[in-house]
Each structure stands twice: as structure tokens, then as C-alpha cells.
Amino acid sequence: MDNTQAYIKKSTSIQLSLLSYGIALFLLYLQIPFNGEESIPPHGWVLLRQLLSNPSAAWDILQFCIAVMLIHIAPITFILALYKRVPSVLHYSTFRIILTGVGYTLLWHISIAFINAMLIPRSDWAVGIVYNSNTVLNLSVIIGSNIILLSLFFKAMRGRINYRAAGLVVSVLCLSFFLHRSNTIVQANNHSDKPNIFIIGVDSFSINQYEAYKDYLPNIRKIMEDSVQFVDTVTPLGRTFTAWTSILSGKYPRETGARDNLFPLNRIDTSDFLSKKLQSAGYTTLLAMDDRQFSNIDNSWGFDKVIGPNVGVADFVLSSLSDIPAINISISAFPAVSEIIFPFTTYNRAAWKSYLPKRFSDKLDRELAQDFDSPIFLAVHFCIAHTPYKWGNITPPPKLDFSPIGTNWHYKAIKAADDQVGQLIDTLGKSGRLKNAIIVLLSDHGEGLGFQTRTFTAESNIPPAGENPYDFKTLEFSFGHGSNLNEPNINQAVLGINQYIDSKPIAPHSKQTTPATLIDIMPTILELTAIDTESQKSLSGISLAPFLSNPKEPLPDRFRFLETGLSTFALNTRSPSHTDLLNTMSEFFTINSSGRLELILDRYPSVMRKKTLAVIHGKWQLTMYPFNELGIRQLLFNRESGEWTDKTESSLWTEANGQQLKEKLIGFFGVDGMEALDPELHLIHLKSRI
């Protein structure tokens, strides 16, 4: 009889294990969205086949799946092992064994689901339990569930302690505590007279939005008011990857070749990039980004260490599948452990339902809590203000009216970035790294929030909405970034620069109207550090250093060039279709041998044909649009008054010397480049010279 009961107990435990494992997998499968109307398009299947046939990408996803299985199986197996050790179980009927065992495993799932609701209230699981987390109810369920599970533990261990299991539990707890230990501020041990260099980037944030929000942004405002502000700074191309390529190269996307996100890294010459020059000059170079899906910059660009989630096509897949209570708890409560187990989803702003801004800042603090013998160059980019302007523990924004500059949700995201900037500056100050430093605070681009374009000041002077998605009259292109070159909230960036000695800024605060662009960052730093100043001559950017010491420095007479990224209509709407987005990605991108998504070079000409190009000179901007059946479209406008024309025979065209602007645009992008806008432009260009 005893043997029969033991056999039943053993076999039933195995069945319970499989049942619990099945429940865990079922909960995982619930995260995979399915909608008949949002089916995978033909191009999407091509991309999925590439993913499954790519060893590197497939292995990354397999590792994730194995880790998910283990974090579900391990605690359930432990609970079932305890259950088997309870003496009274031998006297249970088979039905009661199964029922009670299932009850214990469900208690575990319920407990972690409610813990998830408290830690990550924006998780789909949290919304399903208690919207925005009812703390009293959550704590009641968590405490009640764990009291029952603890009672099971004591029943099983009473007089029968398994020292091997106990040792394993203690070891895991000690390891978790060690990895999650509080950060220790380490005083900088920089024996060099070279300054530390910190480029602090905030995503999707225009200078106009800064002015609208600044009363609520104490940390960013403090830096800006301690800096020389360049209030007329434009981004060469409003996408994170291309903007940072311009920052690190001192050149336009037209010159580096990186004219859109996910351009193949091996096709970009990084030998003269700022990071490599500083590395050669003895700097420890660090890059920190909390969203690397479309900005896959890595160590090959001259960085000793890259801080942030792993990069690869697995990021796109796993960030949408990772909203699972066990993963969320791991990322939230034990991020130092989670980054080992889930490297693609920890500290990943793209996995927004589980992303916590404070955790990424804490990770940055841990990396900076090292005693570097050399000066450091840190390029950090906080992506929290990128769409969808939400994250794991966001609370509803206050009812403030920022229109027509900003919105409450966008402001709330910028406020979160402000907290991250504040924590970083506090860490740098306490560690003594601001005793001799250069701080550059910038944004990679602004953000269009759906307001009608504010380039044109008078309501009656705003062009009516058109049908063509590439028409400058289309309101849709006021969303996002990298699209509408006429919208200042998209193309005007934030930029403040200063040097710090003994943690105090040395250049007096001023607001400069100097026409600046992000390609000016590299030559400015080279001049301020006196590193390879001779190479500045080969850069397209100019040094802004003279304006730090002499606010009355004469303004340079310069032409600044802008271009859009890949701007399909699907990418520039308030609520893009998942099918359209997947179709766009699969049409223009492929998976390389390293498991990374990158632009298909054969599609490069098609991307170029969809670009809008512009040149700015003083108060004038000339924008030229993709060619269509109506011929080339052009818009000339006064950036100060909002007056505009699309007629070359108008008085405004003559006043602005529109022909010169057009010649400059052709001269910079080249006739071949401009032919993407108008196949007949070569003839037009030749006739204009006759």
C-alpha cells in the first residue's frame, strides 16, 4: 500500500509539474497579439523566415524562451517539492493531491501577478487585476498568498530540513543582494589635466518645448541656465541614429552616408569620429542608451563600453513579448540579475510596459561607481520622451495646457527625463567628476505632437490640407520626427554648452542666436580640449567655443542643410497600423549575419526618392519635396514672419534670393541626389546656367 501511495504521489507530482508548466506557457502565449484584420503581410513573412533561419537571432530568442521557462518552472518545482515532503499528503486521495497541488501553484501565479501590479502598474496584467494598482487589495492578496506558501514551507521542513535545498536558496538570495547592492559613490581619480566630457542627450525634445515646460524641469533648467544656450540649433536629420552619427562625426548624413536609421555600420567610416579621437587621447569612452532598436551604435565606434539593452532583431520581437509578471518583477526588483537573464528587455525603453527610468539611471550610477584612472567621455541618451510617452510605473499627467507646443503626456515623459538628468548630474558632482569637465546638454531632434504646423504664423496663411502624403500641406506630418522639415518642434533641438571648473560653470550664461547644428558638437569639443584641432578643417561643423568666451562674437554666414528620414505615410500618423509598420520594415530592412536589422542597400535609392530636402540661410528656408505627377514642389518661407511662397516668380522669392538657396541645395546634395526629387532636374540645372 505504501509503495502504491508513493507511486501515486510521485506520478501526480510529475503531472502537477507539467500542468503548472502548461499554465505558465499559456500565460506567455496570451501576450502574443492576434487580430484577423492585422494579419502579417507578405513582406512580413519574408522577414520572419529570415529571423528563424538566422542562427544568431534565433539563438537570442531561444535563450529568452529558455529563461522564461526556467523562471516559471524553478519556483513551481520548488513548491511541488515542498508539497511532496508534507507527511499528511500520503493520506490524501488522488483527487485531493491534484486539487491541493494546483491550488499551491495557482497561489504562486496569483501572488506574482499582484506583485507585478504594484511594481509595474502599466503592465497589461496590472490593468487586468486592479487598474493603476489598488495598494491595499494588492498587499492583502500578496500577504495572504505568501502566508499560505510559507506555511507549506514550514510544514515540509519541520524536522526534515533539506540542507542542500536551503543552501541553494540562501546562495540565490545572497547573489541577488550582492548584485542589487546600493551604489557606492567613488571619488574620481583622474590624474590628467584633460577635462571629463559629458554629452547628455534627451530624445524628442525641441527648444520650444523646453521653453513651455521649463518651469517644471528643475534639473534641465539648471543646466541650461548655467550654460551658453544656442537657441537656433537644428538637427540635420530628425532620427536618433543619424543625429548621433552627426554629433560624433561633425558631418552631415549626406557626407557620412548614414541617412537613415539602421544603416549598415560597416558602411560608415568611423575612423575620425570624436569617440575614437578621444579614445586615442587616453579617454575612457562610454556610451549609454536605453533604446537601441533603431540606433544600433556599438563598441566599434570607439566606445570602451556600451551601457543599455543588447542590440539585434531579437529586441524587436522580445520587447513586445516581455510583459509577463515574472519578467517584470525580475526587471523591476532585481535589474542587475535580470540584465544577465534578459539582456534584450532589461533597461529597454522599447519594452515600455516594463521599463522603469530609475532602474536605467541606477545602472548608469553603478557603471560610474568605478575608479577610472583616465578622464572619461560619456555620451548618454535618455529615450524616455520617445513615443508612446509611457512606461511601466507612469502616473497620469497633471492637467496642464501646453498647446500648441506640447501635451501633458509628452511633458510627463520629459519630466521623467529631467529626473534622470538630475540623478546623473548628482552622481557626477558627488564623485568629483565635475571639477574639470565639459557638459553638453542636447536633444537629437524635437517632436511633432499633431498640432498644425507653426511655421506659418497667420491662420489664413496656412496652406490647406492636401491629399499627397509628401505634400508640405499635409497635417499628418506634424507627428513624430524625421518627417516635416517645416515644423520647428520637429527640427529645432535643445543645445547648451559650458565648461566646469571646481564644479562651477566658467562661461557666463547667455542665449546665442548663432545658427548652430548638431554637427557643431565635435569641432567644439576638439577646440575646448585642444585635441587634434587640425582635423577641424575637414569637418562640416563649426566650433561654437568662441561664443562661450565672447557672447558678442559675430554670427557666421552659413547655410545649414536638413533632410527627412524614411517617411512613409504609415510611420507618420497618430496610430500607425501594426501591419503597415511590419510591411514597411520588411520592405526596407533585412537581418544581417550578426542577427541585426539593417537597411537593405538595394532599397537605398527608394529611400532617397522619398526624402524631403531643405536649406536654411538666416531667416529663410527653402524646402523641396519628392517628385510626383505635378512636378517638383518647393516651399520658400520666412522663418521669422511666416510668409511663404511656392512660386519662383514671386517677390518673396526675389527678396530671399531663392535661386541662390536652390543652387546651394543642389550643390550640397549633388545633382544626382537632387534627381531623386526631380528626374528632369539635371536639365533644369544646366538651363539655369545658360
Can you give the pLDDT at residue 85? Answer: 77
Can you give the pLDDT at residue 91? Answer: 75
**Which residues make beta-bridge pairs with 230?**
512
User: What gap in Å lies between CA 278 and CA 302, rounded to an integer?
Assistant: 8
User: What gap in Å lies between CA 24 and CA 688, rounded to an integer?
Assistant: 70
Can you give the pLDDT at residue 413? Answer: 97
Give, in degrees to the nearest 5, the angle at Cα 107 between 103 and 112.
155
Give, as one character, the DSSP assignment of residue 220.
H
Q: Profile the chain (690 residues) by mean pLDDT over runs of 10 residues.
A: 58 64 60 46 66 86 88 81 78 76 82 88 78 70 83 73 58 58 58 89 96 97 97 96 97 92 90 96 96 92 96 86 88 91 94 94 93 93 94 89 90 97 96 95 92 48 39 54 85 97 93 96 96 83 92 88 77 56 71 85 78 93 72 79 83 94 90 51 39
Can you give the pLDDT at residue 530? Answer: 92
Can you give the pLDDT at residue 16? Answer: 65
Number of other residues whose CB lies within 10 A of the CB of residue 621 = 24
Can you give the pLDDT at residue 96? Answer: 78
Can you give the pLDDT at residue 26? Answer: 58
User: What gap in Å lies between CA 81 and CA 135, rounded to an integer?
Assistant: 32
Number of other residues whose CB lies within 10 A of the CB of residue 93 = 9
User: What gap in Å lies between CA 59 and CA 66, rounded to an integer?
Assistant: 10
Number of other residues whose CB lies within 10 A of the CB of residue 595 = 21
End-to-end CA distance of the chain: 108
Contact at 8 Å (CB) between 452 and 477? no
